[in-house]
Structure 1
Amino acid sequence: MILDAKRSYSRIIILVLLLTVVVSSSTRILVHAAVKVPDNIRVAFFINLGAGKYQSLTSFATLQSTTGLKLVWRDPQVSIPIGSVPAGQGVRFAMDGYRALVLETADFNAANTVLKKIQASSSAASVTQLWKSGKAVYQVTEGTYSSAAGAASAQTKWTNAGVAAGIQSLLSARVAGPWAVEAGPYASAADAAAAADKIGNSGLDAFVALKPREGSMGYYVRIGQEKDSTTLPALQQAATAAGGLNVRVPGATEPYVLVKNDLTYNGAVNKPISLYAIPSGAGAVLRADPEGTGGIQLIERSKRTYRGSMEMSVLNQSLAVVNEVNYEQYLYSVVGAEVGSKWPLEAQKAQAVAARTYAIFSGVGYQIANVVDTTLSQAYYGIAYENPNAIEGVNQTTGEVLTMDGKPINAIFSANAGGITADNNLEIWGGDNSFLATSVPSPDEGPQAGLLDWYYVALPSGQSGYIRSDLVTNSDQVHISGARYLKVNAEGAAIRSRPQIISSVEPVARVGNGTLIIELNKVPEYTDYSWVEASMKPNDLLVSLNKRAKTPIAGPLLTLEVSSRGPSGRVTEIKANGVAVNVGSGDNLRGALNGLKSTLFSIEETGRYSIMNGTGLLRELPKQSGAVQVMGSNGATRAISEGNLYIMDGNGQLRAATTSPGFIISGKGYGHGVGMSQWGAKGLADQGYDYQYILKYYYKNVLIEKDA
């Protein structure tokens, strides 16, 4: 009995050990490390980093919230509440710079008419209401220029354009600038507003201004919108005579913010909203926080609504708008925008970890922000792009980051690798490959699921194009070339320039029911996985190439060919007219060729072929110019004058060609192809792999570490 008990106990131990091994092989293994995920991330919507660097510019930022907004002044010393904005009401922000003052009138309708004329070609126009000489007047201005000279050029432009012609203006058109004198302080905002109206009654431009004073908010009046300081002494005397309190000339670097009545956004004389104008050099920051749980809508960013706070400041003589938001909530929108809402949860989780890692690796990459809201960083489109699946993927991986040697990696990803990932060092940008899976197969075929193939066909008219496979049947007839005849089974069937239906692009032709057409090729429908670009014109390609080429290509563009490929098959070099084109890094080829989806492509030169004449001499087109002639069955010859012709290639295949240079580019994938493929992650998740496997498939030698 004792021996049996020992055997049973041994079996239990062995069973426990086996279960431990099984459980360990399937349980998430996370390392808790010193990698810190910050509480918040700063996302720039509009920012100017200077010439040759990132620039996303706006003259105004218009905010509103369904629950209202709290406004706060922030600078390195203080943070002071400055007011609130009721629910559903807008508030605007701008830089207090130089502007073209086009019109001042007591007629709002006239001002609005001039505004709309300017807005036809500029997004920087506004109408401001102020009180002068006992009545409301409306100033129409355009621009926020960094210099008086820039505003003067604009003023001349609008005057010459006659935008205010026939309208009686209360003053001559001029340059308005940020130079002013200051009165105050006043006891309250209401007192400052009353003082501004009083000073305005003397005919001066007067606005309420805010600035910190002994740890709280001070209320002042700024008088004048001058283009330089030369007029300030006289303006100081006039403002004092008009009843201004303690009128002085403020220092050029003193912080302040102007408060104006803006009529641009609502477009109605009885619906002014506050516009806060921030000076260019004082370092002031205004923050808007939502009251309650409502988000903040940013009108100038496609009216999208975002979580967190908005910060407005001036950087490099331009208005900067930055969203400060909780890190994980930022990822709710990023994951929702980057991958499909119905994709498997494991793909959502893989995207969440990659996106979190990429953002942390970015550091403060944009001077006053960590990232931007575009795909230059990661797509971030606000609350509307969040979905339960994305939120769950983020929440289940909270704080998890990909690291190598204890540091976050640059976890770059692309939409679709086209079946194989890129070699960053040899094919894309160059640099470290140690944490990237290079040239590994990627199950990216997902975009093709459920889609029909298309046929590339020749029409009786001589035209060529693509027709969807369900619009034709096999005719059981064969062309003299050996190619198959297809019979059209629909009336008015569309022949398109590429294998895709685009409602805004007219078909190449329409053919009737029963028409026989010749099959040249069969291709998948145009998607992010497989694509064909319509025949590209040589002149368009030449212009696009010369924008990127370090040495300009002498035209005309006769030939364009792939001359080198990397380990994954991506194009690393092309030749134009037989000369290698240097566009810098390999990924630049996408932009250089009119914005291709990827560099995993081939080029068909429709105007390049060799012809042997009756005497056996070989002629190469387009190298050797001149008309192409054909001989009919009766022995008569004629010149091919139209653009299209059909020839047999060396393999006996019928091929569509052109009498002049033309280029059809086809390829696979969407994006640079480096790191994780988003469609590949979905493919692996569909096969049952978890997010850790997916991440370590696309990123090598990494750990998945959790925020300690």
Structure 2
Amino acid sequence: MILSAPKKEFRVFLQSLLSSVFLWLLLSASAQATTALRVLLQENAKQVPVGSSTTAVVKDAQGNALGEIEGMSAFRAVGSGQGVKLGDWQANQLSITPRDDGYVWIGNRWYRGKVRLVNRDSNLTVINKVNLEDYLYSVVGAEMPPSWPLEALKAQAVAARSYALHQQENTGNGLYDVQSTTASQVYKGVNSETERTHQAVNSTEGEVLQHNGNVILAVFHSSSGGHTENVEDVWSSPLPYLRGVADYDQTAPVYQWQQAFSPTAMGRRLRVGTVQEIIPQQASPQGRIRRLKVVGDRDTRTLSGDQFRHALNLRSTLFQVQKKSDRFVITGRGFGHGIGLSQWGAHYLAQEGANYRQILGHYYRQVKLARLETDLARN
């Protein structure tokens, strides 16, 4: 464990880390990236509060200007069988674009860029179209405390930028590229921006992680519990850059945790009656539960580790279960899927003097840092 190792040994680790990724640090130009990102904010909504900090133009799906709304005026977009209704305007799709670098109001937050309101089965799908770098100002602050060391924030910025572009290029659909929740990465609009998140994003502008010339799936998590995972041991297909490595997250408040359930309470959540026995059936090399059997007095179910985790609201699938007296005690480590960048590991490494390139080079293997040639115009 890194915390029990002498300081001198950790310095040797940092020195070896620096030398091992020296060539990897060289930046290279790549093809121009698409910098406008489409972020899903809401879907299946009956109505959504909208507005703009400045005068904003309202357009239909064909780009025809329908009119303008005044700055700081409140509206409510409504979905119906006739389309999206906003004030006196109605169409299957409407967009709101603030003038003069204004912000758009959606729900209860301000966002940069513009908003698109789409009618789908009489419900609203709300999409924020925003410049990639502006988007990252928010994501870095939503995914990592802005008070953390700047090098950790910069590592987060590069990982989040890489992840967003990978999703845009590989999994985005006709309406949006990423979601605004942990289903993709957390995005809270202007609310989570700070001077430090701007600094982290601006100082790494356009930098992404690549493998064989392609932007990688730069997933990240809070804390692995001591060692990250090979991606195929948790999900499905192997990737050469998502390999398990030693983590340095022992200072994380979520490094170790414990939860207890009565057999009745657990059975209610798992829908098996009163739980009698829990039998692990498959685990990853690091001990993450991939499959287990839950035996109840009414039913027996075989669940994936993720299904069990989400049903009981556990922090990770790296856990053990013991029956103690009249309850089941679950003792675990880490928070999240344990693949790729460990945020608490990045925090510790940055505190000990590692820069963001070293941090990224440790958690993502066989990659290089590339600077994309991006169109810097906002919106």
Report the TM-score when normalising by structure 2. Answer: 0.85
- From 527, 530, 534, the counterpart of 2:256: 530
**Higher RCO, 1 vs 2 (CA within 8 Å, ≥6 residues apart):** 2
For 1:605, the equivalent position in structure 2 comes to: 323
Q: What per-residue deviation string (whole Å, max 9, x for no partner) do you get for residues 444-481 of structure 1?
A: 1333xxxxxxxxxxxxxxxxxxxxxxxxxxxxxxxxxx
State the distance in 2 between where 1:430 and 1:582 align. Answer: 19
Partner of 2:291: 573
Match of 1:587 in 2: 306
> 1:152-163 counterparts in 2 under 5 A?
none
Change (3 A) 1:581 1:673: farther
In the alignment, which residue of structure 2 is the partner of 1:174? none
What is aligned with 1:408? 215
Cα deviation, residue 538, structure 1: 1.6
The CA deviation at 1:581 is 5.1
Question: Is 1:394 matched with 2:209?
Answer: no
Secondary structure of 1:398's counterpart equals coil
CA shift in 2, pair 1:340/1:288, >3 Å? same
CA contact (8 A) 1:328 1:394 kept: yes
Map of 1:61 onto structure 2: 48
- What SS class does the counterpart of residue 558 from structure 1 fall into? strand
* Deviation digits for residues 602-648 of structure 1 (CA, Å, limit 9, x no counterpart): 21211xxxxxxxxxxxxxxxxxxxxxxxxxxxxxxxxxxxxxxxxxx
Alpha-carbon distance in structure 2 between the residues aligned to 1:308 and 1:345: 26
| In 1: Cα distance, 2:152 partner to 2:339 partner | 17
The equivalent of 1:379 in structure 2 is 186
CA contact (8 A) 1:85 1:91 kept: no
Q: CA deviation at 1:561?
A: 4.2
Aligned counterparts of 2:125 and 2:294: Cα–Cα separation in 1: 42
Larger Rg: 1
Where does the alignment leave 5 or more consecutive residues of structure 2 unmatched?
1-18, 374-379
**Is 2:89 the counterpart of 1:92?**
no
Q: Report the Cα distance in structure 2 between the residues aligned to 1:530 and 1:258, rounded to whole angstroms.
A: 50
Structure 1 counterpart of 2:247, which letter? S
Deviation, 1:275, is: 5.5
Structure 1 position 388, deviation (Å): 1.4
> How do 1:110-121 residues align onto structure 2 when only pairs under 5 Å count?
none
Letter in 2 for 1:528: V
**For 1:383 and 1:591, how far apart are their aligned partners in 2?**
30
Q: 1:568 to 1:318 in 2, by over 3 A?
A: same
Match of 2:275?
A: 557
Amino acid of the residue matched to residue 38 of structure 1? T
Give the AA of the match of 1:702: V
User: In the aligned structure 2, how far is the partner of 1:371 from the partner of 1:704?
Assistant: 22
Instruction: Give me the whole-angstrom Cα distance separating, in 1, the residues matched to 2:175 and 2:71.
Output: 29
Q: How many residues align?
A: 350
Output the aligned Cα RMSD.
Answer: 2.5
In 1: Cα distance, 2:173 partner to 2:265 partner: 34
SS of equivalent to 1:705: strand
The correspondence of residues 318-357 of structure 1 with structure 2, limited to 5 A, is 318-357=123-162
Cα distance in 1 for partners of 2:292, 2:185 equals 30
In structure 1, distance between residues paired with 2:84 and 2:197: 40
Show the 5 A alignment for 1:200-279. 274=87, 276-278=89-91
The answer to whether the 8 A contact 2:80-2:122 is kept is no
Partner of 2:116: 311
Shift of 1:402: 1.2
Query: Does structure 1 conserve the Cα–Cα contact (< 8 Å) formed by 2:57 and 2:69?
Result: yes
Residue 45 of structure 1 corresponds to: 41
Distance 1:320 1:93 in 2: 11
Are the equivalent residues in 2 in contact too, given 1:573–1:580 (CA < 8 A)?
Answer: no
Q: CA deviation at 1:87?
A: 2.1
Correspondence 1:277-316 to 2 at 5 A: 277-278=90-91, 284-299=92-107, 303-316=108-121
Give the Å deviation of 1:26.
Answer: 9.4
Q: Hey, what does 2:27 align to over in structure 1?
A: 30
Q: Which has the higher helix share?
A: 2
Q: CA deviation at 1:70?
A: 2.1
Distance change in 2, residues 1:347/1:258 (3 Å): closer
Q: 1:94 to 1:436 in 2, by over 3 A?
A: same
Residues 257 and 413 of structure 1: CA distance in aligned 2, closer, same or farther (over 3 Å): closer
- Residue 74 of structure 1: CA displacement? 3.1
Which consecutive residues of structure 1, in runs of 5 or more, have no partner in the other structure?
A: 1-21, 48-56, 98-177, 179-255, 260-273, 279-283, 448-526, 547-552, 607-656
Q: CA deviation at 1:316?
A: 4.4
**Which amino acid in structure 2 is aligned with residue 419 of structure 1?**
G
CA contact (8 A) 2:79 2:85 kept: no
* Preserved CA contact (<8 Å) 2:230 2:238: no
Amino acid across the alignment from 2:188: Y
Residue 337 of structure 1, CA deviation: 0.5
Distance (Å, rounded) in 2 between the aligned partners of 1:343 and 1:572? 33
* Deviation for aligned residue 1:543: 3.5
Q: CA deviation at 1:685?
A: 1.1
Amino acid at match of 1:437: R
**2-structure distance, mates of 1:64, 1:693:** 43
Determine helix, strand or coil for the equivalent of 2:41: strand
Give the Cα separation in 2 of the matches to 1:600 and 1:404.
Answer: 29
The amino acid across from 1:446 in the alignment is T
Decide whether aligned partners of structure 1 residues 257 and 422 sit closer, same or farther in structure 2, where only a CA change above 3 A counts. Answer: closer
